[in-house]
Structure 1
Amino acid sequence: MIESYDLIVLGGGRAANLAIAAAKDGWKVALIERDRLGGTCPNRGCVPSKLLVGFADAARHVREAGRHFIDADYHGADLRKIFASVNEYIAGVDGRYQGRVGDAGVTLVRGEGRFTGHKRIEAGGRILTAEKIVIATGSRPNPPPYADLGVWTSDDLFPLAGDPPRSLLVIGGGVIACEMAAFFAAVGVGTTLAVRKDRLLGKEDPDIERVFQQEFGKYVRLCFGASLVDLSRSEDGFAATFETHEGEVTQVADRVLFAIGRTPNSESLDLAETGIRPDEKGFIPVNEHLETIVSGIYATGDVNGRHMLQHAAAQEVHFLRQKFLKGRTGPIDDAAIGHGIFSHPEVASIGKTEEELKERGTPYVAVFEDWLASARVEAMRIDYPRVKLLVSPEDHSILGCHLIGPEASTLLHQVITVMKLKNDVRELAETIFVHPALNECLLAAAVKAVDEVKKFRKK
């Protein structure tokens, strides 16, 4: 028997909110989820990892109290209690989502969904069809080598089973690697990060990355140009051998965490039955309306590969809600999407890097300033925070903004708002800032950027 619906949502992460909204609007809706409702973000990603940031910050404040002439000693952290508190949060996620889904009248199907026809899906022993289908199956960590040895990916940290490590080797140089390494190092776990390349956070602006590397390296042991050639495990832990610029190096640790990227969950969907062809990496191509090449089938979130950010997925779901329920006709507007890296130090960015502008031959002026225009930074007694503004000399538009320092992700929103509403750095330069808030670093950079544009035009 085939069950007919107005809308099928395949994946119970952020897109569950679309299913709930449509059902409340009177649509007949089915939601298919093979794992825990809520998706990666609250179960194994952004939320639990950021819960750890609070513990890391508290530990770091004690360790660094001396720079404020405060006598304080750090005697360690109870990692079992830390992870127990995070695990407790994770344990309630599925139930909270299931309650909202049920209250809205959504038909919840537990099981792995796969297409068996043009707009026909089999899941949980049932066959479902709908005129509108949204694929929102997310992504997962790239499979690590030596998986049979019991190495970790981020999926193994949340919820954490067993005892926390006394020492940790992190392999990878991206966002997840740096966030997790920063946490474990802050709470006293001996942490080494091995990177195949010669820099961290390869997608960030090089000026910001250089500052990050210098500060991050004060807490985490760094091994660059490291290619893993062997990994073994004994009762004493793991021994990893790397080929580096200086020859072979062996790192020993209680646990090994691989953070080597993510891959979309598309291979088990049998998309060929619909005529949809993923790209070479497995992402599902969509147009500016988030629609695939098959009319009525859409893809949102990580699986379409457009941004792979939770807040971008939320914006895509909101767009489809407006399209389906409110009759919105225009394309999605996601030009002003920034991101944050909740490591230590914190990094936030929007727009292009200087490297990207050079590669494209785009005219620009660059301002790279410290935050010392704000007395709040002086009070923190740190000197590494920086802001970098990249501005078009043609129309004063902000081409990129890159921040490193405390609350960088919060400060970035002031720039995001300007870029969204009226992208002109002069708007930022003429804003009245609360004195002496951290945001004053943006004022100083914006004023200088306006001056740099004037100089550029006189050339």
Structure 2
Amino acid sequence: MDTEYDAIVIGGGSAGLSFARHAAGLGRKIALIERAELGGTCVNRGCVPKKMLWTVADALHRGSGLTRAGLLGATPPVDMERLCARRGDKLAAIRQSYRDKLGEAGVTLIEDVAELTAPGEVTISGRRLRAPRVVLATGGRPVKPDMEGAHLACDSDAVLNWTALPRSMAIIGGGYIGCEMAAIHAALGVRVTLVTDTDRVLTEFSEAAAKVGQANMAAQGIRIVTGCTPEAVRETDDGLELVLDADTSLAVEKVVAATGRAPNLEALGGLAERVAATDKGVLKIDERFETSLPGLHAVGDCADRLPLTPVASGDGETLARQLFGTHRPPVDLRHVATTAFVLPPVAEVGQPSEAAIFEQKTLSPLSAALRADASQDYYGLGGSESAVTSVSLVAEGAHEAIAWAAQMLLHRPDRDTMRRALGVHPSTSEEVMG
């Protein structure tokens, strides 16, 4: 094995893969070290398996509303065994494609545990590799709350590996991960209660959009308990008990903790104290993704950026170009679109604040006349009539539309110009464009 490289990247998730491939494409000698599966959280325990499960949930959700309205027959059962097999095949194919692309790019793939033992020096199984640049792309992991019986709760990683559905579940945490798990499993037929210590769910989104999303979750049959910090999880003869307070508890089959994530920083080893971190525990970086330790860079969920796959991939490419090609600045996070895959999805771009929203509307889509669940759509525009700077959407297809909205916002359109592009009839888009 070679020991000298132009750069060594630790972590084979979205950020590390992107950096390695682009740096190698610029003619550099690159080693990528991964201790587990290629693809990281997104492919193996996050976005991809979640979206595949959501696809089934979305179909069932649409059908069940028509069933309850008496327009369709009984809701079909989910063949979880076959679904899990299909999902496993797809994830394996993605991992193999990454392996192939690394090989084609000339990246040295090392499947082992890495530790940074000195600046510019990485040790694996007793061997020392050196490079003037080391890139930490180690991602993050879910964390459970500090409470009695927390070990009895599943985390989001475990949920996406379920091969059978529980009859009932309680979810601790009202962020987008908790809400997605709630909406998906409710659509799959699970009785779901979501508990959050905040006054509403989806606090990552603007209040108006989040409230519509929350109302849609309630219409779906999800029980939402706000302003509550659970005290304990306990085993019972029939399953689990989630203790909310001295007088209230929930009897459920499964408890899921969706209470945040922490960066994987074990690879820093004894150098950890020399690398500055934020209050959230992620690594501080500058415009060149460099940490407080010269020559050590960080991208992806372990760095102080938005923990989203497109950001991780984009930052990996940007860093490769900064170090070995033509310099370009990191993507402005204001232009990053994001979506919570509830039913229907909640999506935003432009980081809207309540004060900045100058036009908004909640409406009933045409489908609500046929479906018993009566979900609501919403749009909000932020900025001003002369320069629209944010878009919020709650609607079927919002997860697709918001990316195009992000492209539009790069040009800061005025509201009159937007009205000159006509939406599709009948759809929520014509309300936004009208």
TM-score (normalizing by structure 2) = 0.90
Distance 1:349 1:330, change over 3 A: closer
Cα shift at 1:170: 1.1
Q: Which residue of 2 aligns with 1:342?
A: 341
Cα shift at 1:75: 4.7
Relative CO higher for 1 or 2, CA cutoff 8 Å, sep ≥ 6? 2
CA separation in 2, counterparts of 1:149 and 1:304? 27
CA separation in 1, counterparts of 2:11 and 2:237? 40
Q: Which residue of 1 aligns with 2:28?
A: 27
Letter in 1 for 2:131: A
Letter in 2 for 1:315: G
Contact 2:349–2:392 (CA under 8 A) maintained in structure 1: yes
CA separation in 2, counterparts of 1:265 and 1:71? 48
Q: Which residue of 2 aligns with 1:320?
A: 319
Cα shift at 1:211: 1.5
CA separation in 2, counterparts of 1:414 and 1:376? 24
Q: Which residue of 2 aligns with 1:260?
A: 259
Letter in 1 for 2:78: A
2:358 is aligned, of 366, 370, 376, to 366
Q: Which residue of 2 aligns with 1:361?
A: none
Q: Which residue of 1 aligns with 2:225?
A: 223
Percentage identity across paired residues of the two chains: 29
Letter in 2 for 1:36: E
Cα shift at 1:330: 4.3
Asked if 1:3 corresponds to 2:6, the answer is no
Contact 2:142–2:258 (CA under 8 A) maintained in structure 1: yes
Contact 2:66–2:370 (CA under 8 A) maintained in structure 1: no
User: For each residue in 1:416-445, what CA deviation from the matched residue of structure 2 results, as whole angstroms up to 9, or x when unmatched?
Assistant: 11211344444322324444454223212x
CA separation in 2, counterparts of 1:419 and 1:19? 31
Q: Which residue of 1 aligns with 2:289?
A: 290
Q: Which residue of 1 aligns with 2:112?
A: 111
Q: Which residue of 2 aligns with 1:42?
A: 43
Contact 1:149–1:233 (CA under 8 A) maintained in structure 2: no
Distance 1:223 1:436, change over 3 A: closer
User: For each residue in 1:229-266, what CA deviation from the matched residue of structure 2 results, as whole angstroms up to 9, or x when unmatched?
Assistant: 222114421111112xxx62111111111100111112
Q: Which residue of 2 aligns with 1:449?
A: none
Distance 1:422 1:64, change over 3 A: same
Letter in 1 for 2:231: V
Cα shift at 1:18: 2.2
What SS class does the counterpart of residue 127 from structure 1 fall into?
strand
Distance 1:231 1:262, change over 3 A: same
User: For each residue in 1:322-360, what CA deviation from the matched residue of structure 2 results, as whole angstroms up to 9, or x when unmatched?
Assistant: 3234322545444311200111131001123334x4xxx
Contact 1:43–1:93 (CA under 8 A) maintained in structure 2: no
CA separation in 2, counterparts of 1:402 and 1:75? 33
What SS class does the counterpart of residue 32 from structure 1 fall into?
strand
Distance 1:72 1:427, change over 3 A: same
Q: Which residue of 1 aligns with 2:268?
A: 269
User: For each residue in 1:354-397, what CA deviation from the matched residue of structure 2 results, as whole angstroms up to 9, or x when unmatched?
Assistant: 34x4xxxxxx452111456x87888889561010112236xx22
Cα shift at 1:271: 6.6
1:349-428 equivalence runs, <5 A: 349-355=348-354, 357=355, 364=356, 366-370=358-362, 384-392=376-384, 396-428=386-418
CA separation in 2, counterparts of 1:418 and 1:255? 43
Q: Aligned residue pairs: how many?
A: 430
Cα shift at 1:181: 1.0
Letter in 2 for 1:352: Q
Contact 1:110–1:123 (CA under 8 A) maintained in structure 2: no
CA separation in 1, counterparts of 2:201 and 2:298? 31
CA separation in 2, counterparts of 1:77 and 1:170? 21
Q: Which residue of 1 aligns with 2:243?
A: 241
Cα shift at 1:146: 5.3
CA separation in 1, counterparts of 2:150 and 2:231? 16
Contact 1:135–1:297 (CA under 8 A) maintained in structure 2: yes
CA separation in 1, counterparts of 2:367 and 2:325? 45
Letter in 2 for 1:389: L
Letter in 2 for 1:261: G
Bigger Cα displacement from structure 2, 5-14 vs 327-336? 327-336
CA separation in 2, counterparts of 1:22 and 1:385? 43
Cα shift at 1:51: 0.4
TM-score (normalizing by structure 1) = 0.85
CA separation in 2, counterparts of 1:398 and 1:9? 39
Distance 1:377 1:138, change over 3 A: same
Q: CA RMSD in A?
A: 2.7
Distance 1:35 1:421, change over 3 A: same
Distance 1:366 1:233, change over 3 A: same
Q: Which residue of 1 aligns with 2:99?
A: 98
Distance 1:146 1:423, change over 3 A: farther
Cα shift at 1:52: 0.6
Q: Which residue of 1 aligns with 2:278?
A: 279
Cα shift at 1:126: 2.1
Contact 2:168–2:254 (CA under 8 A) maintained in structure 1: yes
Any unmatched runs of 5+ in structure 2? none
CA separation in 2, counterparts of 1:264 and 1:49? 20
Bigger Cα displacement from structure 2, 46-55 vs 24-33? 24-33
Contact 1:352–1:400 (CA under 8 A) maintained in structure 2: yes
Any unmatched runs of 5+ in structure 1? 358-363, 445-459
1:136-151 equivalence runs, <5 A: 136-144=137-145, 145=147, 149-151=151-153
Letter in 1 for 2:54: V
Bigger Cα displacement from structure 2, 214-223 vs 341-350? 214-223
Distance 1:425 1:112, change over 3 A: farther
CA separation in 1, counterparts of 2:149 and 2:367? 46
